[in-house]
Structure 1
């Protein structure tokens, strides 16, 4: 059966169903490619920066490593350093006396950590929505097509395999199209969710190390260690 016959002979609702499923499929594969590439690049950048950062002899050298890095670890480090400098600049004033440096750094790093995790979740809701709704949209298209095939039989007053095979076959394609859109979305959602969970744990470990290092820096002002 030629897939284009659905658009040639189907009504507006059936065509809308197929166009919706095609759009869902395109969006799914776009997110798979973009988010997959972004995740791979971020994890690679995180590992590279972590090695350079902790091997730096002092914070001056460490800050140079952050200049052109777009890694999540770099964003956390920038937020932590900015918070430490802000706290030190406000020492002796109301802001500096409001809480200790430990709590001030914790709040700043926690906020940056939440922002990085939120960025990593972008697109996951779309994949989950497509994975859960596409099969039902396809099933609706199938039911609608079969309904119209049966109505045509009633109007014709007689039934023949040749008369209903084409319309029902076209309607059943909607179910296959729904599954074709849903299955990659579900698999991609599971894979990206697992990758996001692993990266979130790595960020959490790094945030603890960063917090400890910044506390050391605020106390004696010597180097990274």
Structure 2
């Protein structure tokens, strides 16, 4: 059945159901496109930065690379360098006496790592929500179509094909529309969860290496 005919001839409830599904689908595809682009750029920038960072000849050069690049690892490196400088500048004050440099850097890097991990998950809640509720929205349209078919049977006094074909067809289209909205959202959600898990593992490994590197800089001095 032509969706245009359904929207043109359907009652306000059914039209509202299809409109809601269309809005959910458009929003989901916008999130998917944005997240695909973000994941691709993040992965490329991450590889470029980590390769250049560990190839740097000294910490000063590595710090300049961290400032010049825009990636989760670069932001972690900047946060670690800033934390080390802050600790060294305040080690004679209460902060420096309250915790060791090791503990302070662990806390600083862990907090920033959590922020970066959270930023990777933006939009995933919407995809999960759409994947969960879209089939039920379509099911509501199905139930409403069957209800209209029953009203048509009651009004006509018979259950001929001409009486029930339209409402039943609308009901089936509503079911298909709900699945068409939900399936891409669920597939994209699972794909992004896997990508984010890989990014998180890479960031976690980088953070451990960065922490060790920052501790070695204590013996060389940081400017």
TM-score interval, normalised by the smaller of the two chains: over 0.9
SS at structure 1 position matched to 2:68:
coil
Structure-to-structure mapping, 1:1-20, within 5 angstroms: 1-20=1-20
What residue is the counterpart of 1:111 in the other structure? 111
Q: Is the 8 A contact 1:49 1:73 kept in 2?
A: yes
Q: Deviations over 1:108-140 (max 9, x none)?
A: 000010000000111111111111111111011
Q: Is the 8 A contact 1:121 1:196 kept in 2?
A: yes
1:50 has 2:39 as partner: no
How far apart in 2 are the matches of 1:213 and 1:150?
73
Q: Is the 8 A contact 1:130 1:182 kept in 2?
A: yes
Q: TM-score, normalised by structure 1?
A: 0.95
Q: Is the 8 A contact 1:58 1:222 kept in 2?
A: no
Structure-to-structure mapping, 1:32-181, within 5 angstroms: 32-181=32-181
How far apart in 1 are the matches of 2:207 and 2:159?
71
> Gapped runs of 5+ residues in structure 2?
none
Shift of 1:76: 0.4
Q: Is the 8 A contact 1:130 1:181 kept in 2?
A: yes
1:190 has 2:177 as partner: no
Shift of 1:222: 7.8
Q: TM-score, normalised by structure 2?
A: 0.96
* Count of matched residue positions in the alignment of Structure 1 and Structure 2: 223
The range that moved more, 214-223 or 33-42, is 214-223
> Gapped runs of 5+ residues in structure 1?
none
Structure 1 segments (4+ residues) deviating >4 Å: none
Q: Is the 8 A contact 1:84 1:105 kept in 2?
A: yes
Q: Is the 8 A contact 1:142 1:171 kept in 2?
A: yes
Q: Deviations over 1:20-74 (max 9, x none)?
A: 1111111121111110111111111111001111111112111221223110000
What residue is the counterpart of 1:205 in the other structure? 205
